[in-house]
Structure 1
Amino acid sequence: MNQTRHTLRLTGSGPTKEKAFATAIGQVQSAVGKRTDGVSFRVEPLDLEVVSAVEHRWTERFLGLLFPRTRRRFEITLRIDVQVASLDLDTLDFALREERLSPLQHALHMR
């Protein structure tokens, strides 16, 4: 079992603040998987810092003149420190168990 520490910088965006935050947090597992050798089975967040939080606001109009409405889009960038426990499957010794099927079992795809 290996334990490593990583600092991730993730960005998420969405129509609400909650959706933008959820999008950024949802990227943690895939970002850890890219940086870790083997299979990660525990990802423990140690620290979370908001690097930037931006609200984009603009006005849309139907046919350029009618029915103005204000649209919003939120973007958040996080810095997350995580501790990852992983297991390298290449170092494990697997025991070999071989089964032989009779011709009848093989024909019927039975064990």
Structure 2
Amino acid sequence: MKHTAQVLRLTGSGPTRHKAFADAMGQVQRAAGARTTGVCFRVEPVGLEVVEAVERRWTERFLGLLFARTRQRFELTLKIEVRVASLDLDALDFTVREERLTPVQHALHMR
């Protein structure tokens, strides 16, 4: 088992602040696993810093002049420090246990 520390910079966006944050946090496991050798089985956030938080607003109109409504979209860029626990399966030594079935057992296990 190996522990490593990583700093990830992730961006999330969504129609609300909560969904933008959830989008960014949903990328943590995948981003940490991509940078880790072996199988990543625990990702523990240690620190979080907001790098940039942007709210974009615009006005939409039906047919260019009717039914005006204001739309908004939130974008959040986070700097997340994580501690990753991983296991390198290639370095493990597996013991081989071979079974020999009798012809009757073999016929019963066939489908």
Q: Give the TM-score normalised by structure 1.
A: 0.92
- Who is 1:20 aligned against? 20
- Who is 2:83 aligned against? 83
Measure how far apart 1:109 and its partner are.
2.8
CA distance in 1 between partners of 2:29 and 2:59 (Å)? 36
CA distance in 2 between partners of 1:105 and 1:63 (Å)? 74
- Who is 1:45 aligned against? 45
**3-state SS, counterpart of residue 93 of structure 1:** coil
Measure how far apart 1:41 and its partner are.
1.5
Structure 1 outlier segments of 4+, above 4 Å: none
Q: Deviations over 1:52-72 (max 9, x none)?
A: 000010001111111001111
CA RMSD, Structure 1 to Structure 2 (Å): 1.2
Identity of aligned residues (%): 74
Q: Give the TM-score normalised by structure 2.
A: 0.92
Measure how far apart 1:99 and its partner are.
1.6
CA distance in 2 between partners of 1:24 and 1:2 (Å)? 25
CA distance in 1 between partners of 2:59 and 2:19 (Å)? 21
